[in-house]
Every structure is written in structure tokens, then in C-alpha cells.
Amino acid sequence: MADQVSEQTTNRLSLYLRFLNDLDTNGVRTVSSKILAAQFGLNAALIRKDLSHFGDLGVRGVGYVVKDLRQRLRRILGLDRRLNVAIIGAGNLGFALADYPGFRQEGFRIVALFDTVRAKVGLSSRLGVRIHDIRDLKRVSRRVGITIAVIAVPTGAAQVVVNTVVDAGIKAVLNFAPGALRVPRDVKLKSVDLTVSLESLSFHLARGEGARA
Amino acid sequence: MADQVSEQTTNRLSLYLRFLNDLDTNGVRTVSSKILAAQFGLNAALIRKDLSHFGDLGVRGVGYVVKDLRQRLRRILGLDRRLNVAIIGAGNLGFALADYPGFRQEGFRIVALFDTVRAKVGLSSRLGVRIHDIRDLKRVSRRVGITIAVIAVPTGAAQVVVNTVVDAGIKAVLNFAPGALRVPRDVKLKSVDLTVSLESLSFHLARGEGARA
């Protein structure tokens, strides 16, 4: 079952979870697939299908119990476990990611920053994430257990850094450096291309101007 | 035709474009939908369908001419026009985005940073993007023409900042602050949820461990 789950499905589960967090905070007890559909501009059947991958989560005539569905989604996404994240690269992007509120809200623990620049080692981000020497990655990972490494270094340095991460035994990598990276088969790599979002806006602007012309 | 194009399709067009840039740089002249499919782990029929939305771009027996397809994709995504981007919020994230190499590679021009903190006004990012007072947004936009505003401020300040952006007549907003924002109907808003990518990794880790257990 979980094998048939696409990346697009898990991405939608994340967005459902964020909305369920809001509903729960606001004391809402149940939610229908119709309301979820309206919130995300999707059709209700797709949402029911997404959620049915993981067993029958809905209650006929009621929809979904917010607290239950939230807990189930957290478990499905693996967020009920300790997830220690290290950020590699203590530049502007690294600091921004180290203190990004969204990560902490979902339970990710940002345990360390790493950099090659000696002068930065020992300093901390505004929220107190300490910078370590990249040469200590394996040692720190053995001590605290790093689940995910986030690559926030310039493109030219990214492959060398990823090799160091792999060598330290870390099995999941989130990459923000533009360009392709190679990892062994047993390491899961996900790259974030921030330009995609800008281009989506550009597409809509171009289309909108065409319609008005 | 363009009306039926989903966000997921335009996102894929962006990724195809990035790969075509690489091929073009490396002197590759033609590419088949099969090769594109292998590169992105998609099926070739989906890729042909994505590209057929915009007219017949392929040549039977040859596939796609790299330079032509690249040019067509740039036009489809609206990248053949001047796209001036302003970053609102000169913190770590704002500076990282102002100097993010991916934006410049595709032709986006980062024309200004804006902040409320007086002491920052007049300073520049490493690549020379100057920080302006947020109160001058409308004036600067009138002078240089800002096409897209990127929101890189804390969640608590985001709605006020978006209102200022809308008031300055800017019609496209890329938001990095977690949480929902309201904009008028004629303004296109896209929010980037960085936590989605971490959760996708977490999902795969949880699944992988299950399989091994």
C-alpha cells in the first residue's frame, strides 16, 4: 500500500496536516473532505483517495475527527519519532533554515549547523543552534544522532559536502543548492528548486496579460 | 488550452527547462521524451502530454530540438520578458533569496530588498542588492517596475507587508512565511512551505525502517 504513494500524495498529506493543526488550535472537532477540498482547491474524491491509502480514516456522515486524523497523518509522515536535523552551511540560507519556525512546529529538532570556516565554529544562530566544524560531522552525528542533513552551501561545494554527509552515515538529504547531486542508493535525496515557484508566478503573469490584451 | 494547465504541470515545465539548460550548455542538440522521462522518473507519455499543451513541439523520430524546446519553454513560462523581483525582509532568508543563484540563471532580476529597520536601509547584499525603506515600496516600484514581491518576513508581520505590496500595485507574491495570507482576486499568491520537503524525507525514512524491521 504505502509503496504506491507518490511524492505528490505525501506533499498533499503535509498540507492537510498543516490545516488540521490550525483547525485543532481553533477548537474545530470534525472536518469533511468537502471542506478540505475547498481549502486546497482540489476535488473531494482525490482527498478521500489520498487518505484511504492508509486505512479507513473517515466516519460516515461526520467526515474526519480532526485530532484523530492529525495524529494519523503525523504517524504516516513519520513525525511521531525523534527527527534530528543538521544544517550544513552557516551562511544566510543556513541560518534562515536553522531558525525557520515551520520545521520546529512539526517537531523537527534542528540540532546543529556545520561550516568549514573556523571563525564561525562555536557561534550560534539566533535561536541557539550551534555551529560545528564540518570535520566533526561524523562525531556529532554519532553523539546526537542526525536523521536528516540539509545542504545550504554554494553549488560548487555541494557534492563534496554530500559525500561527507553520506560518509557520516546520514541516510536522508534535503538539498537547496541548484544542480544535480549523486548519492548512493540507500540514501534518500530531495532537492528543493526555489526557482520553480517564481516561474509558476511568471507563467500566471504571462497568461494573465495575454487574457487582458 | 493554457487554462487547463495545472500547477503541477508548470512545476514540471520548470524542471524540464533546468535540464534543457544543462543539455544546451553541454552541447546536446536533441532529446527524446524517453530521456526526459528517465531523468525525472516520470513516464514518457506524461511528458509528451505536458509539452503538447503548448502545440506540437516534438519532431517524429528525433524527439525535441534542445535549443528550440528551451526557447519555447522560456516563452511559455513568461521568462522571455523582464521580470523584476523585490525581496521584502532583509533578514537571513531575505539575503539568501536576494543572492540565490537559481533566480538569476533563469533571468529574474532581483532589483531591491526592503525592510522596516532604519539601520539596514542603504546597505546591500553580497551581490549588491540594495536595502530600501519599506515605506518607499510604492515609489521604488513606480520607478523600476516590480513584477513579483517575495515575502521573507516573520509570520506575524506577513499580512501587513502583503497589504503594503498590494497597495503598491504589485500583482504577484511569493510567500515564505508559514501561515495563510489574504490577497485580492487580481493578485496571484503562491506560498512556499519548506516543511513539506522535510516531511517527504521523514515519510520515506519511516517507510524504509518499516520495510527493514
Q: Which of B93, B99, B202 sits opposite A78 (nearest CB)?
A: B202
Phi, psi for B209 (deg, rounded to 5): -70, -35
Same domain assignment for residues B69 and B92: no
pLDDT at B212: 34
Same domain assignment for residues B95 and B152: yes
Residue B153 CA to residue B158 CA, distance in Å, equals: 6
Task: Answer whether residue B204 is part of any domain.
Answer: no
Task: Answer whether residue B131 is part of any domain.
Answer: yes
In this structure, the number of other CB atoms found within 10 A of the CB of residue A78 comes to 21
Contact A89, A155 (CB under 8 A): no
Helix (H) or strand (E) holding B69: helix B66-76
Same domain assignment for residues B158 and B57: no
Average pLDDT over residues A156-181: 94
pLDDT at residue A2 is higher than 70:
no
Cα of A153 to nearest chain B Cα, Å: 11
Please state the separation of Cα B71 from the chain's center in Å.
18
Q: For residue A125, what are the CA distances in angstroms to A82, A96, A105, A128, B125?
A: 21, 9, 18, 5, 19
Residue B4: pLDDT band (50, 70, 90) is low
pLDDT at A54: 77
Residue B66: pLDDT band (50, 70, 90) is very high
Residue A102 CA to residue A174 CA, distance in Å, equals: 15
Same domain assignment for residues B30 and B8: yes
Last residue of a domain, one of A46, A76, A106: A76
Q: What is the DSSP string of A160-175?
A: HHHHHHHHTT--EEEE
Task: Answer whether residue B208 is part of any domain.
Answer: no
* Residue closest to B51 by CA, chosen among B82, B76, B34, B26: B76
- Looking up residue B10, the CATH number of its domain turns out to be 1.10.10.10
| Host domain of residue B38 | 2-76
pLDDT at residue B171 is higher than 90:
yes
Q: Strands A83-88, A148-151: parallel, antiparallel or unpaired by DSSP?
A: parallel
Last residue of a domain, one of B43, B76, B109: B76
Task: Answer whether residue A201 is part of any domain.
Answer: no
Average pLDDT over residues B89-111: 93
pLDDT at residue A3 is higher than 60:
no
Q: Is B13 helix (H, G, I), strand (E, B) or coil?
A: helix
Is ipTM beyond 0.90? no
Phi, psi for A189 (deg, rounded to 5): -115, 130
Same domain assignment for residues B91 and B184: yes
Q: Is B123 helix (H, G, I), strand (E, B) or coil?
A: coil
In this structure, the number of other CB atoms found within 10 A of the CB of residue B148 comes to 25
* Residue closest to A146 by CA, chosen among A159, A132, A157, A160: A132
pLDDT at A61: 79
Residue B21 CA to residue A161 CA, distance in Å, equals: 24
Contact B14 A188 (CB under 8 A): no
Average pLDDT over residues A26-51: 89
In this structure, the number of other CB atoms found within 10 A of the CB of residue A1 comes to 8
Cα of B93 to nearest chain A Cα, Å: 5
Q: For residue B8, what are the CA distances in angstroms to A11, A91, B59?
A: 12, 31, 25
Residue B152 CA to residue A96 CA, distance in Å, equals: 10
- Looking up residue B116, the CATH number of its domain turns out to be 3.40.50.720
Contact B199 A14 (CB under 8 A): yes
Total domain count, chain B: 2
Same domain assignment for residues A38 and A140: no
Residue A57: pLDDT band (50, 70, 90) is confident
pLDDT at A85: 98
Same domain assignment for residues A16 and A47: yes
Mean pLDDT of chain B: 90
Cα of A118 to nearest chain B Cα, Å: 20
Residues of B numbered 47-106 whose beta carbons fall under 8 angstroms of chain A's beta carbons: which are they? 76-79, 81, 83, 85, 91-93, 95-97, 99-103, 105-106
Task: Answer whether residue A212 is part of any domain.
Answer: no
Residue B12 CA to residue A203 CA, distance in Å, equals: 12
Q: State which amino acid sits at residue A10.
A: T
Q: Which of B78, B91, B102 sits opposite A205 (nearest CB)?
A: B78
Same domain assignment for residues B45 and B92: no
Same domain assignment for residues B20 and B57: yes
Mutation test of the interface with chain A: which of B202, B207, B209, choosing the one with the most A Cβ atoms within 10 A?
B202
Eight-state DSSP code of residue B63: B
Strand ranges (E), B90-147? 108-115, 131-133
Q: For residue B148, what are the CA distances in angstroms to A6, A100, A200, A206, B140?
A: 31, 22, 11, 12, 13
Determine the number of helices (DSSP H) and then strands (DSSP E) in chain A: 9, 8
Residue B4 CA to residue A126 CA, distance in Å, equals: 45
Helix (H) or strand (E) holding A188: strand A188-191
Average pLDDT over residues B21-40: 91
Residues of B numbered 111-130 whose beta carbons fall under 8 angstroms of chain A's beta carbons: which are they? none
Residues of B numbered 174-193 whose beta carbons fall under 8 angstroms of chain A's beta carbons: which are they? 174, 178, 180, 188, 190, 192-193
Strand ranges (E), chain B? 30-31, 64-65, 83-88, 108-115, 131-133, 148-151, 172-175, 188-191
Same domain assignment for residues A72 and A93: no
Task: Answer whether residue B213 is part of any domain.
Answer: no
Question: Cell numbers 541560518 correspond to what residue?
Answer: A95
Same domain assignment for residues B88 and B179: yes
Output the nine-digit C-alpha cell for B146: 516590480
Last residue of a domain, one of A76, A98, A117: A76
Task: Answer whether residue B210 is part of any domain.
Answer: no
Same domain assignment for residues A33 and A107: no
Residue A53 CA to residue B118 CA, distance in Å, equals: 52
pLDDT (tens digit, 9 = 90+) per residue, B185-202? Answer: 999 999 998 999 999 999
Residue A4: pLDDT band (50, 70, 90) is low
Residue B97: pLDDT band (50, 70, 90) is very high
Task: Answer whether residue A9 is part of any domain.
Answer: yes
Q: For residue A18, what are the CA distances in angstroms to A113, A120, B151, B153, B178?
A: 26, 34, 19, 19, 10
pLDDT over 70, % of chain B: 96
Average pLDDT over residues B101-130: 95
Residue B180 CA to residue A15 CA, distance in Å, equals: 12
